[in-house]
Amino acid sequence: MNGSVRVLFFASAREAAGCAENSLPLEDSEINGEDFWRKLTEIHPALGPLRNTIRLAKNHEYMAWDEPIQAGDEVALIPPVSGG
């Protein structure tokens, strides 16, 4: 099943990607977060240095890097957040 994943970029991830939203085509029916990141940084190389600080959220819930992502999912890149 071919499809795509909707990708949302926030804060420093948006600056690095140069956009707030994009679509990542999937050739496989399912990939994990690590493979997703690898494919995403091929398209947006400036994201690479952010890997150790970014959290992934799939369909509005934080996810682990080894969890599956499927076509039709929405994945947000969430950089560290400070508040006060």
Q: What is the CATH number of the domain that holds 30?
A: 3.10.20.30
**How confident is residue 81, by pLDDT bands cut at 50, 70 and 90?**
confident
- Average pLDDT of span 26-50: 93
- Average pLDDT of span 4-21: 96
Instruction: Judge whether 32 lies within some domain.
Output: yes
Instruction: Judge whether 70 lies within some domain.
Output: yes
Instruction: Judge whether 29 lies within some domain.
Output: yes
10 neighbors 78 (Cβ within 8 angstroms): yes
62 neighbors 55 (Cβ within 8 angstroms): yes
Instruction: Judge whether 84 lies within some domain.
Output: no
Instruction: Judge whether 83 lies within some domain.
Output: no
Exposed/middle/buried for residue 3 (C-beta within 10 Å: 0-12, 13-18, 19+): middle
Q: What is the pLDDT of residue 70?
A: 95
**How confident is residue 1, by pLDDT bands cut at 50, 70 and 90?**
very low
Instruction: Judge whether 38 lies within some domain.
Output: yes
**Number of folded domains in the chain?**
1
User: Residue 36 is part of which domain span?
Assistant: 3-78
Q: What is the pLDDT of residue 83?
A: 62
The CA distance from 70 to 47, in Å, is 21
Count the Cβ atoms, other than its own, within 10 Å of residue 60: 7
The model carries a pTM of 0.90
DSSP one-letter code for 60: T
Q: What is the pLDDT of residue 2?
A: 65
- Average pLDDT of span 5-13: 96
Instruction: Judge whether 18 lies within some domain.
Output: yes
Instruction: Judge whether 45 lies within some domain.
Output: yes
